[in-house]
Chains A and B, each alone.
Chain A
Amino acid sequence: MTNRKPVTRRTFIATVAAVSASAALTGVAVAPNASIAADFGGKTIEWIIPFKEGGGSDKWSRFYAPLLSEALPGKPTVVVKNMPGAGSTKGANYFASRVKPDGLTIFGSSGSTQFPFLLGDPRVKYNYADWNVVLATATGGVAYLPPDLGAKWKQDPKSIFNTNFIYGSQGATRLDLVPLLAFEMLGLKVDPVFGIKGRGAGRLMFERGEANIDYQTSSAFLSKVMPLVKEGKAVPIMTWGALDDAGNIVRDPTFPDLPTFKEVYSQVKGQEPSGDAWEAWKAFFIAGFPAQKMVFLPKGTSQEIIDTYSNAFQKVINRPDFPQISKKRLGVYPQATGVKAAAFKKRGTEVDPKAIAWIKGWLKDRYGVELKK
């Protein structure tokens, strides 16, 4: 039981004290940037999350909030403020229009906020180009099958291509766009059943035998599907992949043994994926997974405050116990700050208009969905 306990605050403080003491003894400056950092002593920082309590973004922010509080100069209180509504565009619009650039309000964006922006949803009144990114958190996704279909897939994926697949989906314009398009590109006959509330409900449909294909994001897969895999009730078949520093799709570091969608496509079709559909899939995959969650400061924030936040998040990531406490809740993915975070933001929010037009056409033809009023 003791091995699942996170490092307590007391042991953490002890570690910090030990480190600082040794630093002081050897005459090394502890915080090189302290002189230019903004001080938030006695202040309260509001972290706007445009989703309800208990969702993925909420958990992510609540994981970071106490750590950020300790890492920021002056140790301000960091409060998560949920502002759900209008498919997360309400909170984002509020942040874009009403928030002062004083560093006391930050915004947690997610793939579900990025998709409406990319698809030109009429409710969107925010622009990612205006905002300053200080943290980017990647995630991944794993698709899995029931054991009988999984065994056949392992032999030859094509052997089950004429199966009637049922997939529980939250809606074609949500993050589910990525798996739906991937299934279609492979040539799987998938009937999506729309209207489920969250991916947990999709997993439940799979467990009940109503759905026979599903995917979960990495952390949910690790905690909820891995036990099923061990019992022989589910077989993982592929991941969506991860992004390396050069922007290439590579194997997911959390699941190095699983092939990526790109690899499976090449195996099935005999050639690497290319063309409009692939470019569009790649663009939305990046916005939905490797660049899924980002923390922003509003337009017009001073460089001093931006640096203070970047340093604070870097400090959190550098904590000796960070790999251990974050593994369960975020998976082993890059937590990027500074230039790297900016690169993620660029790839996730600046997408070729051609790819967007293709996706819009596909949504209209395939599902009859149009995002206009």
Chain B
Amino acid sequence: MDFFAIALPALNEAIGLILTAQNIGYLVLGVVLGLSIGVFPGLGGIAGLSLLLPFLYGMDPVSGLSMMVGLVAVIPTSDTFASVLMGIPGSSASQATVLDGFPLAKQGQAARALSAAFASSLFGGLFGAVVLTFFILIARPIVLAFGLPELLMLTVLGFSMVGVLAGRSLLKGLITAGLGMVVGAMGEAPAQGSPRMDFGSWYLQDGMQLVIVGLGVFAIPEIISLLRRDRAIAKDAKLGAGWFDGVRDWWRNKWLSIRCATIGVLVGVIPGLGGSVVDWIAYGHTVQTTRNRETFGHGEIRGVIGPESSNNAKEGGGLVPTLLFGIPGSGSMAIFIGGLILIGYEAGPQMITNDLPITYTVVWSLALANVFGAGLCIFLSGGIARLTTIRFPLLAPFLLMMISFAAFQSKQTLWDLAALVAIGVLGILMRRFEWPRPAFLIGFVLADQAEVYTYQATQIALSRLKLGWSPMLEYIFSPTALILLAITVISVWLGARQSASLKPPVTTAASQQSKIAPIVFTVIIAVFLAVNLVDSLNVSVLIDKVFPITVVGFTLLGTLILLFRSSTVPADHVIVADLEMIGEDAGAPRGVWSTLSWLILLLALTALFGFIIALAAFFVMFLRIRAATSWLETALLTSGGLGGLLVIAGALHRDFPPGLLQSLFDLPWPFR
């Protein structure tokens, strides 16, 4: 395709369309809306776009497009605030950012971490747009080169990151990833819909949602831990490095940023892989290409720059399957397609042949929105970072409110909150016994793809076998698949080489005396797996039971090996680590269970009175008893928190979890 003859006039027209005062105005409006919604974890682009859709009808196409793109573009930017400042993964795009971003905030370097993240986001977004401008013209055959065997290889590549993120014990890393897959395989089987490992509950039948697992595994353990120690997020409530340092950090790591942005675009372009692994692949790559690995997980700025460069680039890459094939890579992209139809464009191959100017308008609006959004965020980061100096008990009720509301967006029942607490307990225990939580999340995210692609690729390969061996082998071992295999091998090799040089982390002076608690935890997990194994064996449809039996079986085997080794090693060995004795929580003034009971109280109150009434009571009780505020402060904070929530929920037409009271009486919104 002659680039200059086709693309340049279209690009020219697109720039003409974007750069009018009216369209830039709508773009900025979208950006501001996106930023305000994005800071609420769990809401994300779906909620924001659904809010816009009613207004799109009858709007000028380019203005409507600018507004939608502006909103979509900044969601992976704004959710960084929650990831870095509070340790809450705002969306699937910013889970890996938590790993190093939050420790930086705890060291008083929130502003630096934020601005490094935003600079990376900005760069990633721009890079994605530049690449797409050329790539989108030739993308179709490349996307079509990724068949099921190739998608399966990409999934395997994702799994190979477990090796990098396993921490000090590879065995525990593998078990944890397996456990994540078991939780991910719960519910209706993807092939024939057999109910699996749901124990008769309709809630589990739909499977666990990523939002809840992400919040439970990352946010709850951190919130509980901070609350136990009664301090501000930033140590000694002081702020160190400022926003300018972060931008400089990014500049120093610009090559890393370019590589991760490339990963982001590539993963985004391929439909079916899902955006939820891209930040993990980028994080894994960052760790692999850093000489000194010890600081990762303890506030390494590269651990922020890598994933943040990739997730905004991914949004750009994700436009390829969305616009060219009409196959949305995410929920927000699905709504985006709906929005396109409202203003008169249908996603499909003709977006390149007939509507190229509009396609370029989308691509470059995305770039421009990234500049506005990230620029605004860098500007704000110094001020917002001050949140980390507030006494944590004052912040905690707001955070618990936000994550409960976020969790509730997944199925809109009280069970969402119950699931959040359950996964939260698991997360707390995994943190305590050093079961690597990122590995759990990778297993969870990839479980479905691993099952479906394995099954489908096998099915097609067997069908080709009827034609002979060579058509089958050509199908499985295509050039693309072989390249991916090579990348996976290199990635595993790099990871293995580096973990050999990994020294044990610095621990407190106290040495561990007992290994009973970690062994009990392992036994409980083993029992859980055994129950699931029995359940999986009882699934009647063959193709729906192979995967859970395999995964549960191997994980159970690993758990038994771990148990055996645990019983033979001394109490201070890494595989029986108990951070309650040697970690930063050792000697915390408050117990973990008494702190967790606050969350359970919120759940119980909600079950009785519905979320809003429960929340009001919870705020008052928590602030008075735990934070010891005056009645005036309590009243102000409570009304502030509830008011903010009601405004957002009202604008988005959201309901709250009902309780027993609501089943007896018919109450008006927001109490119903």
**CB nearest to A367 among chain B residues:** B192
**CB nearest to A66 among chain B residues:** B57
Q: Which of A53, A86, A193, A209 is close to B456, meaning CB atoms less than 8 Å apart?
A: A193
What's the Cα separation between A203 and B143 when bound, in Å? 13
Q: Which of B58, B271, B326, B459 is close to A224, meaning CB atoms less than 8 Å apart?
A: B326
Report the minimum CB–CB distance from A58 to chain B (whole Å): 7
What's the Cα separation between A207 and B206 when bound, in Å? 30
Give the chain B neighbours of A9 by CB distance below 8 A.
Answer: 57-58
Are the CB atoms of B202 and A194 closer together than 8 Å? no
Are the CB atoms of A195 and B452 closer together than 8 Å? yes
What's the Cα separation between A87 and B342 when bound, in Å? 27
If A59-B341, A171-B192, A193-B456 touch, whether A328 touches B346 (CB-CB below 8 Å) is yes
Count, chain B residues at interface, CB 8 A: 61
Q: Which of A59, A171, A227 is close to B349, meaning CB atoms less than 8 Å apart?
A: A227
Are the CB atoms of A369 and B459 closer together than 8 Å? no
Q: Mark A1-36, 1 if CB is under 8 A from B, else 0.
A: 000111011101000000000000000000000000
Report the minimum CB–CB distance from A371 to chain B (whole Å): 9
A329 at the interface (CB under 8 A from B): yes
Report the minimum CB–CB distance from A194 to chain B (whole Å): 4
Give the chain B neighbours of A203 by CB distance below 8 A.
Answer: 325
Give the chain B neighbours of A83 by CB distance below 8 A.
Answer: 412
Q: Mark B193-222, 1 if CB is under 8 A from A, else 0.
A: 101000010100110000000000000000
| Segment at the interface with A among B329-337, B489-497, B598-606 | B329-337
What's the Cα separation between A220 and B326 when bound, in Å? 9
Greatest chain B CB density within 10 A among A66, A79, A373 is at A66
Interface of A is mostly: mixed
Are the CB atoms of B452 and A54 closer together than 8 Å? no
Are the CB atoms of B540 and A204 closer together than 8 Å? no
If A4-B345, A12-B58, A200-B327 touch, whether A195 touches B206 (CB-CB below 8 Å) is no
Report the minimum CB–CB distance from B324 to chain A (whole Å): 10
A315 at the interface (CB under 8 A from B): no
What's the Cα separation between A204 and B272 when bound, in Å? 10
Number of A-B contacts (CB under 8 A): 145
A272 at the interface (CB under 8 A from B): no
Give the chain A neighbours of B328 by CB distance below 8 A.
Answer: 54
What's the Cα separation between A370 and B333 when bound, in Å? 35
Are the CB atoms of B348 and A227 closer together than 8 Å? yes
**CB nearest to B187 among chain A residues:** A86
Give the chain A neighbours of B338 by CB distance below 8 A.
Answer: 53-54, 58-59, 62
Q: Which of A12, A65, A81, A208 is close to B147, meaning CB atoms less than 8 Å apart?
A: A208
Give the chain B neighbours of A86 by CB distance below 8 A.
Answer: 202, 205-206
**CB nearest to B353 among chain A residues:** A227
What's the Cα separation between A85 and B202 when bound, in Å? 9
B344 at the interface (CB under 8 A from A): yes
Give the chain A neighbours of B346 by CB distance below 8 A.
Answer: 223, 328
Report the minimum CB–CB distance from B351 to chain A (whole Å): 10
Are the CB atoms of A368 and B542 closer together than 8 Å? yes
Greatest chain A CB density within 10 A among B188, B341, B411, B543 is at B341
Q: Which 10 A/B pairs are nearest by Cβ-Cβ distance?
A: A54-B334, A9-B58, A194-B191, A195-B191, A195-B190, A223-B346, A66-B57, A195-B452, A227-B349, A200-B327
Beyond the given A201-B271, A207-B144, please list 17 additional residue pairs across the A-B interface where CB-CB is below 8 A. Answer: A44-B653, A54-B338, A66-B57, A79-B54, A79-B653, A83-B412, A85-B206, A85-B411, A90-B202, A193-B459, A194-B191, A195-B451, A195-B455, A208-B144, A224-B348, A224-B349, A368-B192
| Residues of chain B at the chain A interface (Cβ within 8 Å) | 46, 50, 53-54, 57-58, 61, 144-148, 188, 190-193, 195, 200, 202, 205-206, 271-272, 325-328, 331, 333-335, 337-338, 341-350, 353, 411-412, 451-452, 455-456, 459-460, 463, 466-467, 540-543, 653
| Residues of chain A at the chain B interface (Cβ within 8 Å) | 4-6, 8-10, 12, 44, 46, 52-55, 58-59, 62-63, 65-66, 77, 79-81, 83, 85-87, 90, 123, 164, 166, 168, 171-173, 191, 193-196, 200-201, 203-205, 207-210, 220, 223-224, 227-228, 328-329, 367-370, 373
